[in-house]
Chain A
Amino acid sequence: MDLGSNNDANIKAKALAEVLERYAGTEGALIPILQEAQEIYGYLPGEVMREIARKLKIPFSQVYGVATFYTQFHLKPRGRNIIRVCQGTACHVRGGARLLEAISAALGIGKNETTADGRFTLETVACLGSCGLAPVMMINEETYGRLAPEKIPAILEKY
């Protein structure tokens, strides 16, 4: 490990310690802690979950149970850009499935997979609540509406 990544690990560990400090003694803090930890690390490494369990004085199984129950939490590293294709009802009847196929074909990855270069992770979401513009998808925090398969390559270019 070079000095850079060591530094990086230290910064992250410090940020995690700060989060744990801030929630110390707060009831029901496990989910917000996991959310913030994921923001720091991009996912939830096993060692991080163990650290959280130690600090909260709860069994690791409980942390692991919560982390695997909610779809928001990821136990594996993800790509730099997260594509979330909406598969809600309104998107479904307006071609959401074909949209997903088009993105999947363009990137050469399936659902919940990451491109080899780590540029994109492809996920689906039950509903983004922008049904009026169906079909829709989100890339990171940006929402794209009124999509069609042919619009995909130009959008992916931007990332």
Chain B
Amino acid sequence: MQDLKEWRETLQQQSHRGDRPSLTVGMSTCGQAAGGAKVMAALEEEIARRGLQVDISQTSCIGMCYAEPIVEVALPGKPRVFYGDVTPERVPTLVEKHVLQGEPVREWALIQLSGEATPYEGIPVMPGSTYYGRQVRVVTSRLGLTNPESLEEYIATGGYEALEKVLGQMTPEQVIEEIKISGLRGRGGAGFPTGLKWSFTRQAPGDKKYVVCNADEGDPGAFMDRSVLEGDPFSVIEGMTIAAYAIGADEGYIYCRAEYPLAIKRLKMAIAAAGEKGLLGRDILGTGFNFDLHIKAGAGAFVCGEETALLASIEGRQGMPRVRPPFPAQQGLWGKPTNINNVETYANVPFIIKNGGQWFASMGTEKSKGTKVFCLTGKIKKTGLIEVPMGITLREIIFDIAGGIQDDKQFKAVQIGGPSGGCLPEDKLDLPVDYESLTAAGAIMGSGGMVVMDENTCMVDVARFFLNFTQAESCGKCTPCREGTKRMLEILTRICEGEGRMEDLDTLETLARVVKNTALCGLGQTCPNPILSTLQYFRHEYEAHIKDKRCPAHVCQALLVYTIDAGKCTGCGACARACPAGAISGEKKQPHRIDPALCIKCGSCMEKCKFGAISRL
């Protein structure tokens, strides 16, 4: 253990590197999708061409997805400057101006992190910027700032201090007590108190116990766990190791969805690196404590995010949930007591142990402590990954941090909690973000996806979208979910196609309540939430579809009517050529018209018309 301390001190001294400029490219999945690899190649080429002594490395997601690809430039003794929307074409200027002349390119710079250096003028400083000012970064504190594949950097930034403390000075009971004091609740959605869960597994009789990390982040619109796994895999591993010590387990599994190849790759590297240095495996830090960690790649089934289904999948069976009790804390993996938490929950653990439960509990609200990571997506200006203290309002998140709605359109709803969550309207925007308030409003905290919708989003279509998803993902074991999702989807589809009847709304509501109350697992119990919340807050949109045969947001194709304004039409014929159904006719240079019986409502004509003569109602 002494060795680890000394190693950390050496690493910290080395990390005041300083004599060479460094270039760092954000290379998480989003960074790569936005073209990070091309930028990296261009940087390497430019540096080689000029024969410069510069370090080039990669990092993970700093959270500003809207500005990817992001490149950090740091000169010795100077602030770290982050550039957004970097293209290979911008690379030569960036190198010439910033690296060689020492002058940052201000118009491309997003923020700077100055540390002890004097900040550059004219570039926002990270903690005070509008995007980061309201954020408190704990779990995401290393994201985008360190190399996730480097155990050395993890240790130099305080990594494994918590494990050292736990194994050196604390009993398992004390560890659990500290987690209880922190008030940490499960970040996977349901919000069960983590300390309590750990104590159940600790107290369960049995000499073989397991810890499992649920990294089957299947909610569409959520990528917190992927970002943490890609950006700070060691924190999750350290958190699991501490949990294993606390509950008395010597073996663990990370169940990660196969759609996250980069997260799996980084986890594998991290597990191997920790094992090599005696931080995993046999006799950890010479204390006699053993912990082996394995990765299981999921095989594409949303229901496996449910804990009993997840365990069945690790055991190699079909991922179907079972009745609880017995809870996994009593009978989990292969019938043994098992503690299951999600990625973000485990990632919080080292920080809580290091800084104390009281520190964590000082953030947030009375019942929801600490911070929460959210993914901001949809029709907002700044999409990204943020971490905020619990209790912040939705308005602060959407308008202050994310900068409001794209193209300054009208806000309509924010969808929180994915297929299990709900859509909240404008008058709920001042709601504090905590487990109880969101549930009372008809949404749920969920894992942290926040999809913002504007005036061009149809709420009936959104409800149908989610039911389409849950119906396809229902495992079919229990009747309410298997049959209920199908019937609810049929009704929603009918309404979207203009075939709805007013009594459908009552049937839909009754069905939704029955499924919610009687389904076997979380998937079925929460899948009616998107319907119930939209019925509650956006009933007028359902009624417009049924009574007026009209989709107010112009989304539901079957309800659209395309017409040509004879006054504006020049008879150029572009629309008729674009129409795949041959529904448009007219003489050359004479106003054309659309035959409603033939029109398939694809909108191709409207896109082609240069005179704005075609309108959609």
Specify whether A and B are partners. yes
Q: How far is the CB of A147 from chain B (nearest CB, A)?
A: 10
- On chain A, the residues within 8 Å of B375 by CB distance are 131-132
Report the separation of the CA atoms of residues A29 and B299 in the bound assembly, to the nearest whole angstrom. Answer: 13
A144 and B33 contact, CB distance less than 8 A: yes
Closest B-chain residue to A34, C-beta based?
B299
Shortest Cβ distance from residue A82 to the other chain B in the assembled complex, whole angstroms: 12
Q: A24 to nearest B CB, angstroms?
A: 14
CB of B415 within 8 A of chain A? yes
Q: Chain B residues near A132 (CB, 8 Å)?
A: 30, 65-66, 68, 223, 375-377, 383-385
Closest to A145 in B: B33
Question: B219 contacts the other chain (Cβ, under 8 Å)?
Answer: yes
In the assembled complex, the CB of B328 is this many whole angstroms from the nearest CB of chain A, namely 15
Q: At the interface, yes or no: A141 with Cβ under 8 Å from chain B?
A: yes
Q: Which residues of chain B are near A127, meaning CB under 8 Å? A: 218-222, 259
Count chain A residues whose beta carbon lies closer than 8 angstroms to a beta carbon of B.
39
Evaluate whether A72 and B258 lie within 8 angstroms (CB atoms) in the complex, with A32-B296, A126-B473 already known: yes
Q: Is B514 an interface residue (CB 8 A)?
A: no
Residue of A32, A88, A91, A136 with highest tally of chain B CB at under 10 A: A88
**Partner pick for A134 among B261, B317, B377, B462, CB 8 A cutoff:** B377
B-facing residues in A33-65 (Cβ within 8 Å): 34-35, 65
B302 lies within 8 A of chain A by Cβ: yes
Residue B469 is within 8 A (CB to CB) of chain A in the complex: yes
CB of B300 closer than 8 Å to a CB of A? yes
How far is A70 from B219 in the complex, measured between Cα atoms in Å?
16
Pairwise interchain contact A94-B221, C-beta atoms closer than 8 A: no
Instruction: Name which residue of chain B comes closest to A132, CB basis.
Output: B65
The answer to whether B378 and A90 touch across the interface, beta carbons within 8 angstroms, is yes
Q: How far is the CB of B66 from chain A (nearest CB, A)?
A: 7
**A73 touching B299, Cβ below 8 Å:** yes
- In the bound complex, do residue A143 and residue B29 qualify as a contact, i.e. CB atoms below 8 Å apart? yes
For the complex formed, measure the closest distance between the CB of A65 and the CB atoms of chain B, giving whole angstroms: 6
CB distance from A69 to the nearest CB of B (A): 4
Q: With a CB–CB cut-off of 8 A, which chain A residues contact B296? A: 28, 31-32
Given A89-B415, A143-B29, the answer on whether A131 and B299 have CB atoms closer than 8 Å is: no
Q: A69-B301, A134-B377, A141-B261 are known contacts. Are A129 and B226 too (CB-CB below 8 A)?
A: yes
Does chain B have a CB within 8 A of A130?
yes
A89-B68 in contact (CB<8A): no
Rounded to whole Å, the gap between the CB of A86 and the closest CB of chain B is: 8
On whether the beta carbons of B316 and A30 are closer than 8 Å, the reply is: yes
In the complex, what distance in Å separates the CA atom of A44 from the CA atom of B314?
20
Q: Does B391 contact A (CB under 8 A)?
A: no
User: Are B316's CB and A89's CB within 8 A?
Assistant: no
Q: Which listed residue (B318, B319, B334, B384) contacts A27, Cβ 8 A?
A: B334
In contact, A88 and B221 (Cβ under 8 angstroms): yes
The CA-CA distance from A136 to B29 in the complex, in Å, is 11
| Complex CA distance for A27 and B294, rounded to whole angstroms | 13
Q: Within 8 Å of chain A (Cβ to Cβ): is B313?
A: yes
* Residue from A91, A127, A145, A146 having most chain B Cβ neighbours under 10 A: A127
Say if the beta carbon of B594 comes within 8 Å of chain A.
Answer: no
Q: Which of A113-149 contact B (CB under 8 A)?
A: 125-134, 136, 141, 143-146
Interface set, chain B 263-320, CB cutoff 8 A to A: 296-302, 313-319
Binds A, one of B143-151, B449-457, B563-571: B449-457
Distance in angstroms between the alpha carbons of A71 and B473 in the assembled complex: 10
Q: B383 contacts which chain A residues (CB < 8 A)?
A: 90, 131-134
Q: Does B260 contact A (CB under 8 A)?
A: yes
Give which listed residue, A28, A65, A89, contacts B220 with CB less than 8 A. Answer: A89
Choice from B68, B226, B376, B451 contacting A93 with Cβ under 8 Å? B451
Considering only CB atoms, which chain A residue lies closest to B313 in the complex? A31
Instruction: Determine if A14 is an interface residue (Cβ-Cβ < 8 Å).
Output: no
Q: Which of B404-458 contact A (CB under 8 A)?
A: 415, 418, 449, 451, 453, 457
Contact indicator B319/A129 (Cβ below 8 Å): no
> Measured between C-beta atoms, what is the minimum distance from A141 to chain B in Å?
7
- Cα A157 to Cα B473 in complex, Å, equals 33
Q: Is the CB of A133 within 8 A of B259?
A: no
Set of chain A residues within 8 Å of B218, measured between Cβ atoms: 126-127
Contact B29 A129 (CB under 8 A): yes
Q: In whole Å, how far is A74's beta carbon from the nearest beta carbon of chain B? A: 11
Within 8 A of A (CB), among B464-499: 465-466, 469, 473, 475
Quick check: is A66 within 8 A (CB to CB) of the other chain? yes
Q: Is A151 part of the contact surface with B, judged by Cβ < 8 Å?
A: no
Contact of B301 among A32, A71, A91, A144 (CB under 8 A): A71
CB of B34 within 8 A of chain A? yes
Q: For chain A residues 68-121, which have a beta carbon within 8 Å of chain B?
A: 69-73, 87-94
- Do B32 and A89 touch (CB < 8 A)? no
Contacts of A125 in B (CB 8 A): 259
Chain A residue with the shortest CB-CB distance to B382 = A132
Which A residues are in CB contact (< 8 Å) with B385? 132
List, in ascending order, chain A residues with CB within 8 A of B226's CB: 129
- Residue of chain B at shortest CB distance from A33: B316
Query: Does chain A have a CB within 8 A of B379?
Result: yes
Separation of A7 and B378 alpha carbons in the complex (Å):
51
Q: Is the CB of B297 within 8 A of A35?
A: yes
Q: How far is the CA of A104 from the CA of B449 in the complex (A)?
A: 29
Does chain A have a CB within 8 A of B238?
no
Closest chain-A Cβ to B363's Cβ sits at a distance in Å of 25
Contacts A70-B300, A129-B260 given: A89-B33 contact, CB under 8 Å?
no
Instruction: Indicate the member of B259, B261, B334 with the most A CB atoms within 10 Å.
Output: B259
* CB pair A66 B32 closer than 8 Å: no
CA distance A134 to B385 in the complex (A): 14
How far in angstroms is the closest Cβ of chain B from A102?
11
Closest to B253 in A: A28
Give the contacting residue for B30; candidates A69, A73, A133, A141; CB below 8 A: A133
A145-B30 contact, Cβ under 8 Å, with A66-B318, A89-B378, A94-B379: yes
CB distance from A94 to the nearest CB of B (A): 7
**Inter-chain contact A130/B30, CB cutoff 8 Å:** yes
Q: B217 at the A/B interface (Cβ < 8 Å)?
A: yes
Q: Are A71 and B300 in contact (CB under 8 A)?
A: yes
Rounded to whole angstroms, the CA-CA distance of A141 and B65 in the bound complex is: 20
* Interface pair B378/A93, CB less than 8 Å apart: yes
A131 touching B223 by the CB < 8 A rule?
Answer: yes
**Is there contact, CB below 8 Å, between B316 and A65?**
no
Of the listed residues B33, B219, B314, the one surrounded by the most CB atoms of chain A closer than 10 A to its CB is B33
Cα distance A90–B380 in the bound complex, in angstroms = 11
Which residues of A are found within 8 Å of B65, using beta-carbon distances? 131-133
* Bound form: Cα–Cα A119–B75 in Å: 47
Chain A proximity of B122: nearest CB distance (Å):
27
Determine if A136 and B33 form an interchain contact, defined as CB atoms under 8 angstroms apart. Answer: yes
A145 surroundings in chain B (CB, below 8 A): 30, 33-34, 68
6 contacts between A and B (CB under 8 A): A89-B221, A92-B465, A93-B379, A93-B451, A132-B68, A145-B33
The interface of chain A, by Cβ under 8 A from chain B, is: 27-32, 34-35, 65-66, 69-73, 87-94, 125-134, 136, 141, 143-146
Known A89-B462, A144-B33; further 5 A-B contacts with Cβ < 8 A: A34-B299, A89-B378, A93-B453, A131-B383, A136-B33
